[in-house]
Structure 1
């Protein structure tokens, strides 16, 4: 590996002391007895960036909790999560992701059915009542790394089918010409992303610039990444936790081939930086937390509460950034913070006003069996700290609206409910606007939408599966509005477009299953979907994003510019189980001069507006 600056991993004081008495065990483990680990920091610097660096993917053993045996994981540079890579804007970096993984696959996959009157199988540790998924244990070490958020050429993006085998390397170059932001890297191998990421393949990547420097935000040991994930663990024949990673999902039906249809993964144990329910000792001063939801599919509804009273902490937490960088100004977080898979939030917490208190970060989402996430133990004495929360964070930020957006093209993507047409799974449908009378409606693949202007528009389905004919050809440099319409049946989809940042223009309400005129048996609408008004945009969603939550019954309209890179990319639902089961499609960005010579039928998705 090229010479570079690497700060070692850090932990809190691992004395295991519990100030308010020992907590009762949950799912066999005691919360808050292990110190939070902080991954090592890797700073290639200008010389390292120029020559390139090697990051080896290795099999290693970690302790997820002090009451567990060691767990075998796959890890970047032998760390779970991987090292936090830090670069400066325009500091080009070449990385060879070298596959040195050894041994058998570290994850056991199992599927279980719900039993009336019993806890959900996904809330119960171990494989009791579940059937092991054949073939997962024989999977090879076949991996490809995607730097999520990066603007880089298609050949460097971690194309899902271009995974490498043991002993080979994936070579990628990252220009890093981007405003300061919180990115992350993770595995993206075709059909098995859910298990490869579950095995441990993820890490953070931070871009810094002068605008961020000028804010003099908390840094060093006072800037901490928080990678939040959930897991399940296997048990032996006596019911004791073995520490082995168990990917257990809930069976909800079967497809036409008799294969089980399962829910996305959710597990009983919440990990922060690879430790189950850790604690962190913090000084009574400002801290900066780079928070990432690295879970396969769980959306966390996070609250910071007082440990003794259980009441929400107010006045101390502020969001200063989203996926794509700094917000224009700080946002006070005095309620719940919803974070979907792959979303990032840049947070500041003023522990100076909370000195001497013990706090808990909890998951307040409905139906969560084990809400604990982590604990903070704040020092008694206020620490010296000159930081002052600025009124303005990013003077370069410009908010886009339907009225102020640059001239742009438009595409409609429909997220369908599970049904016979989709083989029991939700799907991504790329829609092409059709002239009246050219599409048989009602009919399979036909959708009609009555927009806010009262006009009924008719669409015909194009691509729906990953291997279908390429539909979206994008002119490099163009602005495009993509509208994601969720017809329900499979919950909220966090939609991610590779290559670009975007802003949310609006959230429009349309009927969803079961009130929707979309017929899952037919695979089309029997009457137009009617506009039902506007839904609010959360303040934290008004910044630059690359993942957006699309709940049932909403059309979420986002806009971004396809600049900086060309090639073949992907967009998909970031519930990894949905992604692996078909909710992913390709698109190609081409120079406009070359696109003029494209001989295939145009996708017909330009120039119209649904709203």
Structure 2
């Protein structure tokens, strides 16, 4: 990791020969250390990881109705804010028809219940941990004070958890003793998370963020949606009510008894982190779930719909397209990104979406014949993973929704000249403590080390470079993509984002302002297996 003042930076923004050689070296290291070409590179470049195969018969596509997660009701309203309660507990659900699957859940469901909130109206969520392991909750995309951001060592311990069992660092899987974090704030059984929600309206999501065990915890079901709304967005006339659909897309695999398959070294998720060798680059499933249902179907009007799409997969990338039964491709009109509405709509025919990215889309079924289908497909998949879900057009209907030419006027207008410094970060495979890891700037995550220190209100440009595919997420702040490998941003980079998809051997420049709150935050790869294997770094705002 390097930083330098913007005024002294005269080098080209593209990949230098030295950087390209560095990437080649990282890829060679991957092959040499077992992060092998077969696991990470021999597939098409957008895929990082190896696929698990289900051992239970899988249902045909487009038979199970699309579920819509229930909206959680507040348990109290006072002082201009709302209070919620969520219990994290084990439950079982019928994900595959006729089969029960044990899960770790928020409130007994997968996905967890959706929280709907208003911009600037604070909420407090009391989480109660009745699971067998410690947990941490992170509101992904939230502008949240550090004490409620879900730092990976700020654990909520379950009843009867003994300190001797507590693991808060990269431990035996990586050949080093568990690190202790002197700044960790650990609570027993419950924790209050306070979210001011002083931010643009958008789709956020909440998930477990426990150090070294994020990937298997999300895989087992610890994920839910959070929608922020405001009056200005409500007045735009976008599709609403039953024509606004949240779509949490996630892949999973199942064992013969219907349990979720996952290649954890320690299936109890208590002590030893990590996955078995073939899956070090990421874990892919062979079943595509939308809102927890396999390849579902939704009965739709012949009208416009607003699709709030989240890729909640651990490692799988998708390239979405909407195709009618007669082979016609429908436009996917993007109106929002991770951090809210765009300035103006952007039309896509194909839309890549990396883990943790969100896209706010309008799709118009008006010209689709009643009784026919529109399938949402994944161009990066093969076999069953090419299919995501379908819409069956059930009836003609009136439609007074619209897509305004101007969607938002409150996007930040940072310029290159506003940046007080430029920083360089590499995201690459490497060795750490005698084992395999995924590193930022050549270093594994250490909660006790300050990797980046910046001042509240500073504008910075970050230049990110990857070996293989890495979706990079910054906590607290949104950012704008300035360039890709020296060229302009791509159409799907529009708007304010909090997660950017770095493609193999690619460099990306982003610009952001570190406003909001002081404290300790994170940036990391959102391939959840990479994150658990140390591809995180500390961001200190002072």
Q: TM-score range by the shorter chain?
A: 0.7 to 0.9
State the partner residue of 1:427.
439
| Structure 1 counterpart SS, 2:124 | strand
State the partner residue of 2:498.
546
| Structure 2 counterpart SS, 1:197 | helix
| Structure 2 counterpart SS, 1:60 | strand
State the partner residue of 1:472.
452
1:421, 1:401 → 2: CA distance?
A: 41
Superposed CA deviations along residues 287-317 of structure 1, whole A, max 9, x for unmatched, are 111110000110111111123x4x34234x3
State the partner residue of 1:153.
145
1:353, 1:184 → 2: CA distance?
A: 33
1:507, 1:169 → 2: CA distance?
A: 43
Query: CA, structure 1 residues 467+156, in 2 after alignment: closer, same or farther (shift >3 Å)?
Result: closer
Superposed CA deviations along residues 389-408 of structure 1, whole A, max 9, x for unmatched, are 21111122355453xx5233
| Structure 2 counterpart SS, 1:55 | strand
Query: CA, structure 1 residues 69+371, in 2 after alignment: closer, same or farther (shift >3 Å)?
Result: same
Superposition map of 1:434-445 within 5 A: none
| Structure 1 counterpart SS, 2:493 | helix
Query: CA, structure 1 residues 172+398, in 2 after alignment: closer, same or farther (shift >3 Å)?
Result: closer
- Conserved? CA contact 1:27–1:268, under 8 Å: no
Query: Does structure 1 residue 499 correspond to structure 2 residue 476?
Result: yes
How much has 1:502 moved relative to structure 2? 0.4
State the partner residue of 1:331.
346
- Conserved? CA contact 2:340–2:496, under 8 Å: yes
State the partner residue of 2:311.
293
- Conserved? CA contact 2:287–2:384, under 8 Å: no
| Structure 1 counterpart SS, 2:89 | strand
1:148, 1:573 → 2: CA distance?
A: 13
How much has 1:222 moved relative to structure 2? 1.3
2:79, 2:390 → 1: CA distance?
A: 37
State the partner residue of 1:447.
none
2:385, 2:328 → 1: CA distance?
A: 18
Query: Does structure 1 residue 244 correspond to structure 2 residue 221?
Result: no
1:479, 1:398 → 2: CA distance?
A: 11
State the partner residue of 1:276.
294
Query: CA, structure 1 residues 571+143, in 2 after alignment: closer, same or farther (shift >3 Å)?
Result: same
State the partner residue of 1:90.
120
Query: Does structure 1 residue 76 correspond to structure 2 residue 106?
Result: yes
How much has 1:158 moved relative to structure 2? 0.6
How much has 1:542 moved relative to structure 2? 2.1
Query: CA, structure 1 residues 94+553, in 2 after alignment: closer, same or farther (shift >3 Å)?
Result: same
1:501, 1:279 → 2: CA distance?
A: 33
1:258, 1:151 → 2: CA distance?
A: 32
2:308, 2:290 → 1: CA distance?
A: 12
Query: CA, structure 1 residues 273+48, in 2 after alignment: closer, same or farther (shift >3 Å)?
Result: farther
* Pick aligned residue for 1:200 from 210, 215, 221: 221
* Pick aligned residue for 1:319 from 334, 356, 376: 334
Superposed CA deviations along residues 27-70 of structure 1, whole A, max 9, x for unmatched, are 6321111101000113548549636221111221111121x411
State the partner residue of 1:373.
388
Query: CA, structure 1 residues 34+164, in 2 after alignment: closer, same or farther (shift >3 Å)?
Result: same
| Structure 2 counterpart SS, 1:354 | coil
1:268, 1:349 → 2: CA distance?
A: 27
2:302, 2:275 → 1: CA distance?
A: 58
2:296, 2:275 → 1: CA distance?
A: 42
Superposed CA deviations along residues 210-261 of structure 1, whole A, max 9, x for unmatched, are 22112021112111110000001001xxxxxx210001489xxxxxx99836
Aligned positions, number: 448
Query: Does structure 1 residue 535 correspond to structure 2 residue 487?
Result: yes
Relative contact order: is structure 1 or structure 2 higher (C-alpha 8 Å, sep ≥ 6)?
2
| Larger radius of gyration between Structure 1 and Structure 2 | 1
- Conserved? CA contact 2:482–2:488, under 8 Å: no
* Pick aligned residue for 1:389 from 403, 413, 423: 403
State the partner residue of 2:354.
340
- Between 353-362 and 266-275, report the one with greater CA deviation: 353-362
State the partner residue of 1:458.
none
Query: Does structure 1 residue 481 correspond to structure 2 residue 473?
Result: no
State the partner residue of 1:185.
206
How much has 1:497 moved relative to structure 2? 0.7
How much has 1:169 moved relative to structure 2? 1.0
Any unmatched runs of 5+ in structure 2? 1-54, 160-188, 266-273
| Structure 2 counterpart SS, 1:142 | coil
- Conserved? CA contact 2:525–2:531, under 8 Å: yes
Superposed CA deviations along residues 144-193 of structure 1, whole A, max 9, x for unmatched, are 11000111111110110112122411211100000111111000011111
Query: Does structure 1 residue 567 correspond to structure 2 residue 492?
Result: no
Query: CA, structure 1 residues 406+196, in 2 after alignment: closer, same or farther (shift >3 Å)?
Result: same
* Pick aligned residue for 1:260 from 277, 301, 306: 277
- Conserved? CA contact 1:57–1:99, under 8 Å: yes
2:375, 2:476 → 1: CA distance?
A: 36
Query: Does structure 1 residue 580 correspond to structure 2 residue 532?
Result: yes
2:59, 2:314 → 1: CA distance?
A: 22
State the partner residue of 1:20.
none
- Conserved? CA contact 2:80–2:121, under 8 Å: yes
How much has 1:536 moved relative to structure 2? 3.8
How much has 1:417 moved relative to structure 2? 3.7
| Structure 2 counterpart SS, 1:53 | strand
Query: Does structure 1 residue 58 correspond to structure 2 residue 74?
Result: no
| Structure 2 counterpart SS, 1:221 | helix
How much has 1:81 moved relative to structure 2? 0.4
| Structure 1 counterpart SS, 2:437 | coil
* Pick aligned residue for 2:363 from 349, 362, 365: 349
State the partner residue of 2:186.
none
1:420, 1:184 → 2: CA distance?
A: 31
| Structure 1 counterpart SS, 2:199 | coil
Query: Does structure 1 residue 360 correspond to structure 2 residue 375?
Result: yes
1:573, 1:363 → 2: CA distance?
A: 22
State the partner residue of 2:33.
none
Any unmatched runs of 5+ in structure 1? 1-24, 102-139, 236-241, 251-256, 430-460, 509-533, 591-611
2:404, 2:73 → 1: CA distance?
A: 27
1:482, 1:464 → 2: CA distance?
A: 19
- Conserved? CA contact 1:495–1:549, under 8 Å: yes
